[in-house]
Amino acid sequence: MRARRLDQEVAWVTGASRGIGRAIAVALAREGATVALLARQADDLYAVAQEIGALGRRAAVAPVDVADEASVSAATKQARSTLGAPTILVNCAGIGVFKPLIETTAMEWDRIMAVNARGAFLMCRAAAPDMVAAGQGCIVNVASVVGVKGYVNQGAYTASKHALLGLTKVLAQELQPHGVRVHAICPGGVDTGLVADARPDLDRSALMRPQEIADLVILLVSQRGNAIIDQINVRRASSAPWFE
């Protein structure tokens, strides 16, 4: 088997059961990485693991609720014992509620913040010590274009992605002296179930594909040298406003 770019890497990917997370997990495996698949739906994760196995790569299924500290601890312990210490972490788990802020319940607000922001924090906290000890590693947080602007009917989702970007910026500074790179990707409209729920008005044929975001993750985790990409804002190639 020929050497591939990520042959020596162990990647943890949250939200790996579908959409962008699934595309990222498969893309990492295709480039040679061993992949721990983390999401709530175990059945869907096993299907992804089977796809990765067909590529000749190893994958481990670790069901998790990223918002729950005990669940994250158990899942990451399982992933570490099965595949070894992580060298790559991709936080892609995310949910949304799409309605005016004044109609958003406190329970909805808390759940979105817990998954989209707290979940990434818990995963980073679980993976970063291994990377610091190794003196190298890469964390990619998949945010959203709403993390850099406001968007009607997406108040709680927007706030959670702003929080994720803030976390990313601080963590990048804290971990850089230890050889660990931390990046954010802020996609506009991607053809996923989440975007279909948020913007049913969009022409899905004009949306970006999950694989296109996965390609950017491969670029980031393969990056070597002194240059660092802090954040990538990516939009669809159409005449629509840039934020879509």
**Secondary structure string (H, E, C) spanning the chain:** CCCCCCCCCEEEEECCCCHHHHHHHHHHHHCCCEEEEEECCHHHHHHHHHHHHCCCCCEEEEECCCCCHHHHHHHHHHHHHHHCCCCEEEECCCCCCCCCHHHCCHHHHHHHHHHHHHHHHHHHHHHHHHHHHHCCEEEEEECCHHHCCCCCCCHHHHHHHHHHHHHHHHHHHHHHHHCEEEEEEEECCECCHHHHHHCCCCCHHHCECHHHHHHHHHHHHHCCCCCCCCEEEECCCCCCCCCC
Q: What contacts 99, CB < 8 A, 6 or more positions away?
A: 153
The tally of domains found in the chain comes to 1
Q: Which domain holds residue 148?
A: 10-234
Residues in the chain: 244
| Cα–Cα dist 191/205, whole Å | 8
Q: Give domain status of residue 4, yes or no.
A: no
Cα separation, 113 vs 122, in Å, equals 12
Confidence grade of residue 2 (pLDDT, cut at 50, 70, 90): very low
> Pick from 192, 113, 185: which is nearest to 155 by CA?
113
Q: What is the pLDDT of residues 121-179, one digit of tens each?
A: 999 999 999 999 999 999 999 999 989 888 899 999 999 999 999 999 999 999 999 99
- The mean of the pLDDT values for the chain is 92
Quick check: 1 pLDDT over 70? no
| 166/56 Cα distance (integer angstroms) | 37
Would you say residue 103 lies in a domain?
yes
Q: Which span out of 82-96, 190-204, 226-240 was modeled with the highest average pLDDT?
A: 82-96
Is the pLDDT at 224 greater than 90? The verdict is no
The predicted model gives 188-197 an average pLDDT of 82
Q: Which residues contact 2 (CB under 8 A, 6 or more apart)?
A: none
In a domain, 243, yes or no: no
| Residue 151 annotated in active site | no
pLDDT digits (tens, 9 = 90+) for 45-97: 999 999 999 999 999 999 999 999 999 999 999 999 999 999 999 999 999 99
Reported as a pLDDT band with limits 50, 70 and 90, residue 237 is: confident
Catalytic residue among 17, 139, 157, 175: 157
The β-bridge partners of 14 are 38
**Residue 191's domain is classified under what CATH number?**
3.40.50.720
Rounded to two decimals, the pTM is 0.93
